[in-house]
Structure 1
Amino acid sequence: MRLRNKPGAMDTIIANPQYILTDGSQWRGKWQDRFEKEQPIHIEVGSGKGQFIVEMAKAHPDINYISIELQTNAMISVLEKQLEEKLPNLQLLLVNGADLTDFFADGEVSQVYLNFSDPWPKKKHEKRRLTFKTFLKTYETISKPKAQLHFKTDNQGLFEYSLASLSRYGMTLNQVWLDLHHSDYEGNIMTEYEEKFSAKGQPIYRLEATFNNK
């Protein structure tokens, strides 16, 4: 979905360095210093307009969250939510999620969220899917031993691909939901896309998996 340009978006981003960075490389290995408390760090790669990660930060004050998004017009929406909430456990990073090792040290992250990522359905674009093996390697590198990856999508093809990709990579699939909203899962926080798709009656797929790094 193409997002409408928001006038003054970059000015707002530049004016709020306490919440958002356009280059986080200087904080590599030092992200805890940007938070009020030293707590486990969870990241969402591709935050969209930020409903999920803002609500997660509100619901779990004992965890530090970092929103990662490439599109300025999406990230400004996350920043606007944060300027209203002023959550001490939420930071924003406007960068390309493919380069995470430039921004996070080995073992700095405790959990990774992927929500409604671009499915890149054509076979020739497989390497762009955020559950492709090179991305999994990146997540594993920046994560603590036995960190988890949580993934949600409405796209059945991407979900099936991701199940196979994670299994081939050697991850442990802890739980799989083929219709999340009609399951007994509790505490689900929806993204904007999730609300839209579920309202149309589309099933939401979800998984939790563990990296087997030591």
Structure 2
Amino acid sequence: MRLRNKPWAKPLIDAHPEYVVTRPQDLKGNWQSRFAKQAPLFIEVGMGKGRFIVEMAKKYPEFNFIGLEMQTVATGIALKKQLEEQLPNLQLVCANGSGLTEFFEENEVAGIYLNFSDPWPKKRQEKRRLTYASFLEQYKIILAENGHLEFKTDNRGLFEYSLSSLNNFGMHFERVWLDLHADQQALVDNVMTEYEEKFSSLGQPIYKIEAHF
């Protein structure tokens, strides 16, 4: 969902290059230089307002995290959260996530999160879905040998499509949830996004996939 324009967003981003990267291609293969210490790197493609990636960075200080978002306003809102927390293991990227192999070197990433991505429901929009084969090919290149993919959505159609797409690509499923919030054990380590909190509070099932190549 596209957010309303906020005149403050771009100036705020421009004022904090220590937290926001706008030319990620310049850091390909050298992302560890942006963090206080070297650690396994996890990325969220389409971080929205940043709740998930900020909370992950807080919960797991032993790992490094990148939140990637193409919308300037959403990135600005996420940046406000980071300015409050000043997490040394979190970086934000304001760029289009369709070119991940231009941003990350082979085997550079330990894990990828896809949370409540746009379902692009029309057949002609299939290639835009973040679980389409061309995206999976990029994930396979940038993920380390033992790297994994985590996908969450409230959209049944996108969930079923993604199951099929990942399976056809030869991915191995670690776990699949048809109703994540009905599994109390899974919720112990679950970090919610803004959308997840909203939809789950309305009683809608949250679907999740954990898989690897």
Taking structure 2 as the reference length, what is the TM-score of the superposition? 0.97
Once residues 97 and 26 of structure 2 are traced to their aligned partners in structure 1, the CA distance between those partners, rounded to angstroms, is 16
> Which whole-Å CA distance do the structure 1 matches of 2:93 and 2:27 have between them?
11
Aligned residue in 1 for 2:111: 111
3-state SS of 1:5 partner: coil
Counterpart of 1:193 in structure 2 is 195
Per-residue CA deviation, residues 52-81 of structure 1 (Å, 9 max, x unaligned), is: 000000000011000000001111111000
SS at match of 1:44: strand
The structural deviation recorded for 1:148 is 0.2
Q: Measure how far apart 1:124 and its partner are.
A: 1.1
Task: Map residues 1-214 of structure 1 onto 2, 5 A cutoff.
Answer: 1-183=1-183, 184-185=185-186, 186-211=188-213
Number of equivalences: 211
Gaps of 5+ in 1: none
Please identify runs of 4+ aligned residues in structure 1 that moved more than 4 A: none
Amino acid in structure 2 at the alignment position of 1:134: S
Partners of 1:146 and 1:63 lie apart in 2 by: 15
Cα distance in 2, alignment partners of residues 84 and 7 from structure 1: 20
Residue 154 of structure 1: how far off its partner (Å):
0.1
Q: State the AA in 2 paired with 1:126.
A: E
How many percent identity over aligned positions? Answer: 58
SS in 2 for 1:16: coil
Which blocks of at least 5 consecutive residues in structure 2 are unaligned?
Answer: none
> What TM-score results when the alignment is normalised by the length of structure 1?
0.97
Structure 2 distance, partners of 1:67, 1:147, is 17
